[in-house]
Chain A
Amino acid sequence: MEHLAQIYFGLFAVIALACATGVLLARHPINAAMALIGLMTSLSGIYAILHAPFLAVLQVLVYAGAIIMLLVFVIMVLGGAKDDHTPRFDLTGLLLLLVPAALVAVLARTFRGQHLSNAASAVRGTVDKTGELLFANSTGYVVLFEAVSLVLLGAVVSAVLLSKRDLDTTKENKA
């Protein structure tokens, strides 16, 4: 059982890393979006292995189901194929690669000496356990939850407003 979890974790980790590299190197945004779906799905598998089934389901529902769908939709609407003339990388960008490389090197050095082990008494993060924590009066996450609902409402309204302003400017251009 332990070995099986280890094997599946390695498998999902390799898929996730390959998909993230695919996003970095993809030529067309659609290819990158497909790689992103693979990344989200494998991360969902890792959450399931880490005993967080609620997050695993949420990851597939919201990320693979909604966000990437929106992304693919916009890529299709804008006709991403038009963008073939934009170079993937330029010299400045390649020089900027030093920043993430340095960050990863420093953090990996920090992690290397640490001893971290999973708690034997860790509770499985099911829907009811996560929900209890989310809506418990003692933790105060309820306020954050309401704030997030406001943020989502604001996002929807602003997205509508942005598209409406776009219509107005095109009208002015025509006039």
Chain B
Amino acid sequence: MMGIDALQVQFLALALFGLGLATALTRRNLFFLLMGVEIMLNAANLSFVGFSRTLPGVASNDGLVVPVFVIALAAAEACVGLAMLILVFRTRESLDSDAYSRMKE
């Protein structure tokens, strides 16, 4: 049906997930933390779609439903995450994640 190797899709998803994780872990700016999470969610979606294409018949569409939910949840996450980001930015005036290491106080 299609000329794309299913493993190539998984390797691309893996590379994207690795880059997203690296962005979320290493960057100190809070915006990059959120962007890293978005990249990881997208990599998981791509993996879902890639694996669903290996199933025969109607089952090949099962993996397309989950990304719909993931995209909706990513929208909710971005909405709340950015609202919180604005809130904490107004109290500390900094986007460096190290500035928020003493939030308990």
Interface of B is mostly: helix
> Is the Cβ of A121 less than 8 Å from the Cβ of B28?
no
Among A103, A122, A145, the residue within 8 A (CB) of B56 is A122
Q: Is the CB of A104 within 8 A of B75?
A: no
- Provide the residues of chain B in CB contact with A117, threshold 8 Å: 5-6, 54
Q: State which of A88, A99, A165 has its C-beta within 8 Å of the C-beta of B25.
A: A99
Asked if A29 contacts B1 (CB within 8 A), the reply is no
Size category of the B interface is: 35 or more
Q: Is there an interface contact between B95 and A17, defined as CB atoms closer than 8 Å?
A: no
Contact assessment for A118 and B54 in the assembled complex, using a CB-CB cutoff below 8 Å = yes
B25 to chain A, nearest CB (A): 4
Q: Are A62 and B42 in contact (CB under 8 A)?
A: no
Q: Take A119-B1, A133-B62 as given contacts and tell me if A104 and B14 are in contact as well, using a CB distance cutoff of 8 Å.
A: yes
Chain B residue nearest in CB terms to A61: B71
Chain B 1-29 interface mask (CB, 8 Å, partner A; 1/0)? 11111111111101111111111011111
- CB within 8 Å for A97 and B2 given contacts A71-B78, A152-B76: no
Please give the distance in Å from A166's CB to the nearest CB on chain B: 5
Assess whether A93 is in contact with B28, with CB atoms less than 8 Å apart. yes
By the criterion CB–CB under 8 Å, are B18 and A130 in contact? no
The chain A residues found within 8 Å of chain B, CB to CB, are 1-3, 5-6, 9, 13, 16-17, 20-21, 23-24, 26, 29, 32-33, 36, 39-40, 43, 46-47, 49-52, 54-55, 58-59, 62-63, 66-67, 70-71, 74-75, 77-78, 80, 82-83, 86-90, 93-94, 96-97, 99-101, 103-104, 107-108, 111, 114, 116-123, 125, 129-130, 133-134, 139, 141, 144-145, 148, 151-152, 154-156, 158-159, 162-163, 165-166, 169-170
Please, could you name 6 A-B residue pairs with CB atoms under 8 Å apart, sorted by A? A67-B78, A71-B34, A130-B64, A134-B68, A159-B83, A163-B87
